[in-house]
Amino acid sequence: MSEFRIDQIKSQDASRGPDVAGITTFTGTSGIVMPSGDTAYRGGRGTGIFGGGRTPTGLKERMDKFTISTLGNGLDFGNLTNTTSEFGGCASSTRGIFMGGEQFPANINVIQYLTISQLGNTLDFGDLTSVRRANTCLSNNIRGISLGGNLAPTLVAKTHIDYITIATTGNSSRFGDLTTDSSYGMAGASTTRGIIALGNNPFISPYGLHTNIVEYITISTEGNAQDFGDLTVSRREGCGASNSTRAIIFGGNQSPNNTNVIDYMTIASKGNAVDFGDCINGSSLSNACSSPTRAIFGDMTGDGDSVSYVTINTTGNAQDFGNLDLARNQTAGFSDSHGGLG
């Protein structure tokens, strides 16, 4: 069944409403405006996207969409035009961005984008300053940031931080550097500050060192990252989400085992992370996305499909949310209502 969003707005005409995202609407005396014609998806704040990834049979181009406020399974959104895994995602309130990734055995520097309110495939945005995979992304409503990552097949980690202006297609520019090499990190953001748990440091081998180091940047100001604090336990390959005040870090890998620990940090206040609760399964190699009140994340190890959630401003263990439309790992994602948007 088609989905559509209903907004209550004032119409200037008793029968014809305003054009919303290029779709003609009509209105009755109640003032409720509805799309005319078939609209498969109307979007709206509170949409989360999980994209790409890998299964035992190879890379997958699929993207799933979730309504973060409503428990349920992922629905088909469209496909990546550059199929990849181990990449980063971020978003403004209207546009989603994917950066970098792996197309085994090579890495790519491709940046892709989509309009969150419209079902469909990604389009070309531009290129990163260098190829990379296992990079971590964050954003506010203006800038998207890619942090760290590594090169294949040497698996040398990077300190590079790049930025883009989300509303304007084009290549990324150098922002600065992390204080040390990072890959498979985990991030969150407010409107002004981004924080990243570094993950691997340095990335010596596929089973290299994992760290508890957390750093931060001021999103609007180019420069190098600075020390923020430490996670409660070291890890890599987890995922992060945030609202405007609190960042949550879910699970991760501690070589060779995964951890189910969930940490939180107050973004405006430098300091160490605090225990939030536990994942159901021990999340690794997935992604998270959020609304102002709820974060959802891939809560699985290997090629799973479980998605769990937490209420961001409380503490406690994760609960079951639903399932991906296709089981896979190494996904990336974003939402149109995360903490970087206020």
Domain count, the chain: 1
Asked if the structure places residue 7 within a domain, the reply is no
| Residue 40 domain-assigned (yes or no) | no
Residue 178 CA from chain centroid, whole number? 20
Q: Lowest mean pLDDT of 68-77, 130-139, 294-303, 321-330, name the range.
A: 294-303
Tokens of 221: 């100001």
- The confidence score (pLDDT) of residue 201 equals 72
- 227: in domain: yes
Distance CA 241, CA 247 (A): 6
Confidence check: pLDDT of 340 > 80: yes
In a domain, 33, yes or no: no
> In percent, how much of the chain has pLDDT > 70?
84
pLDDT of the residue at 204: 45
What's the CATH number where 266 sits?
2.120.10.80
Q: How many CA atoms lie within 13 A of 104 on its CB side?
A: 10
Using CA atoms of 309, 218, 214, 93 in order, give the dihedral in degrees to the nearest 10: 20
> What confidence score (pLDDT) does residue 78 get?
98
Q: Is residue 29 part of a domain?
A: no
- Lowest-confidence segment of 148-152, 235-239, 269-273, 329-333 by average pLDDT: 148-152
The overall average pLDDT reported for the chain is 86
- Token pair recorded at residue 214: 């957390």
Split at pLDDT 50, 70, 90, the class of 24 is very low
Q: Would residue 11 count as lying in a domain?
A: no
Angle at 277 between CA 182 and CA 75, to 5 degrees: 75
Quick: pLDDT tens for 89-114: 999 999 999 999 999 888 999 999 99
| Residue, of 43 and 230, whose pLDDT is higher | 230
pLDDT at 302: 73
Query: What is the pLDDT confidence band of residue 155, given thresholds at 50, 70 and 90?
Result: low
State the greatest distance between any 2 C-alpha atoms of the chain, in Å, as a whole number.
66
Is 47 within a domain?
no
The reported pLDDT for the residue numbered 115 is 98
How confident is the model over 137-147, as a mean pLDDT?
Answer: 98
Whether residue 234 is contained in a domain is answered as yes
pLDDT tens profile 65-92: 999 999 999 999 999 999 999 999 999 9
Q: What is the pLDDT of residues 191-214, one digit of tens each?
A: 999 999 999 876 444 445 789 999
Sole residue written with tokens 């005319």? 36
**Domain range spanning residue 222?**
52-341
* Lowest-confidence region among 139-143, 148-152, 323-327: 148-152
Distance CA 48, CA 100 (A): 20
